[in-house]
Amino acid sequence: MRASLAGLAAALLAACTPPGPLDGSGSFDGRVDEPAAAARDDLIFAAFKAEDFETIEEHRAALTPASIERMLLHWKQRYPWDVKNGYAYLLIHRTEPQVDAVMWDALDSPEPRVRAAAVATLLQRRALWAELVPGGVADVARIDREVAQLRSGLQ
């Protein structure tokens, strides 16, 4: 049930989102009241494009629900994997329901560590990520088993 809702949410987000910084519109969101938040969001988007996971990590803790909401307004399933992987990495362990569409999509990522992040986030099991990526090395077979179990509803 959650998978079908996540698919519907992803389709609605993709269909209804306005153009964003990755579509050539420049700044992340002109409606941001705080210039510092807008600058941080633009920096995070630049990090997505560059696959700069260190910068994404640096800014993850500073995210507010409002920042996440702004970013999710611009997420599109058709984005290339470098950008979608950045979204998933940024949103790991977030519990807001609107994050689910990003994480369900991330289960198909070519990057096993991103798939691990998606599984841990969807299951709301923070420690699972460290189990799936012990010492920073992805246990691809276990990650793929966890993804298959999650999709089949066996979790």
Give residues with Cβ within 8 angstroms of 144, minimum separation 6.
112, 115
SS3 138: coil
For each of the chain's 155 residues, which pLDDT tens digit applies? Answer: 444 444 444 443 443 343 444 444 434 444 445 667 777 778 887 887 787 888 888 888 878 888 888 788 878 888 889 889 888 988 988 888 889 999 999 999 999 999 999 999 999 998 998 999 999 899 999 999 999 999 998 65
pLDDT of residue 37: 72
Instruction: Provide the domain count of the chain.
Output: 1
Pairwise CA distance, residues 141 & 148, whole Å: 11
pLDDT of residue 27: 42
pLDDT of residue 21: 45
Long-range pairs for 27-36 at CB < 8 Å and ≥24 separation? 28/70, 28/71, 28/74, 29/70, 29/73, 29/74, 31/70, 32/70
Return the number of other C-beta atoms located less than 10 Å from residue 143's C-beta: 23
pLDDT of residue 147: 96
Give Cα separations from 81 to 5, 30, 31, 50, 111 (angstroms).
22, 25, 27, 12, 9
Q: Which residue has the tokens 């470098």?
A: 82
pLDDT of residue 121: 94
What is the span of the domain harbouring residue 64? 2-152
pLDDT of residue 110: 96
